[in-house]
Amino acid sequence: MKQNSLQGLIGIYTNNGGKRETNNISANLIATDISLCGKIIRLAGPREWNDAGPRLSYWWQPTTAAVALATHLFSLNNLEGKRVLDLGCGLGLAGIAAGLLGAEVVFMDAEAAAVDFARYNAALNGLPSHRVDFLISDWEQGYCDGPFQLIVGSEILYDYFTHGALIRVIKSNLAENGSLMLADRKRLCVSRFLGRMYGQGFRCQESIALPHVESFAVRGVSLFELKPSKSLDEIT
């Protein structure tokens, strides 16, 4: 799906007394308003998961983890002059939040359609084109365009087999004294990834968020902030 094919095809989603009202321009597209710290972010995306592409994908709607991560970023107040890498960006919520705080943001996802939607959503929410970039890539391709002062991702740890490549991408792009911020549920794949990061010389601080997303049960989301415990040159 191309960026210019999205304009004028969005079904507008609003929340009115608990009801979903849709101005249905296209049966396969919908836009969702997300309220974060008094700021409304509008995200266009596929209406159903099977509209997201040829394979099962998880990027096609805002998740509680993405909302928790974006809310945390807003609590930072100012990212002016910082470079942020949004790994597995999906619809772009976390990267958009960072961009609204003044950061330069690279949105990265392996799904071309997700990157198209992230590009559209960044423009929809007023991010200037000179402060955003978009990349279709997976971890195995070894993307490196750092340094980034902040790398973020929500629910990107579900595949054990990609952890090694993901760690290489993080280490090759994170700035000295930079931070990695991940949002996810406490599950075995997350614990294993964190264990590998400890072994790589990172320290981790965990907090719990309780984001609310309509149609999702309220449940705790863990926010993991990881930083190198020593110079990146010393980390194996």
Task: Kindly report the CATH number assigned to the domain that includes residue 115.
Answer: 3.40.50.150
Query: Is 2 strand, coil or helix?
Result: coil
In a domain? residue 69: yes
The pLDDT assigned to 11 comes to 35
In a domain? residue 48: no
In a domain? residue 130: yes
What does the alpha-carbon distance between residue 182 and residue 152 come to, in Å, rounded to a whole number? 6
In a domain? residue 107: yes
In a domain? residue 108: yes
For the record, the structure tokens of 53 come out as: 């592409």
Provide the residue range defining the domain that includes 84: 55-234
pLDDT tens-digit series, residues 116-149: 999 999 999 999 999 999 999 988 887 778 899 9
In a domain? residue 46: no
Average pLDDT over residues 166-174: 94
What residue has token string 């976390």? 94
What residue has token string 């321009």? 25
In a domain? residue 61: yes
For the record, the structure tokens of 183 come out as: 């949002």
Beta bridge pairs of residue 68: none
What does the alpha-carbon distance between residue 29 and residue 40 come to, in Å, rounded to a whole number? 19
pLDDT band for 10, please (50, 70, 90 cuts): very low
Query: Is 50 strand, coil or helix?
Result: helix
What residue has token string 């010389």? 201
Query: Is 45 strand, coil or helix?
Result: strand
pTM check: above 0.75: yes
Q: Which amino acid is at 228?
A: P
Mean of all residue pLDDT scores within the chain: 81
In a domain? residue 31: no
Residue 19 has pLDDT above 70, yes or no: no
Core vs surface per residue 27-61: b (16+ CB within 10 A) or e: eebbbbebebeeeebebbbbbeeebbbeeebbbbb
Contact 97, 36 (CB under 8 A): yes
What residue has token string 């159903």? 48
- Number of structural domains (the chain) is 1
Looking only at the bridges linking them, the beta strands covering 12-16 and 39-46 are unpaired
Q: 56: alpha, beta or left, given left = phi > 0 and alpha = psi -120 to 50?
A: beta
Residue 176 has pLDDT above 50, yes or no: yes
Average pLDDT over residues 12-18: 30
Task: Cite the DSSP H helix spans in the chain.
Answer: 3-6, 64-75, 93-100, 112-124, 163-173, 188-199
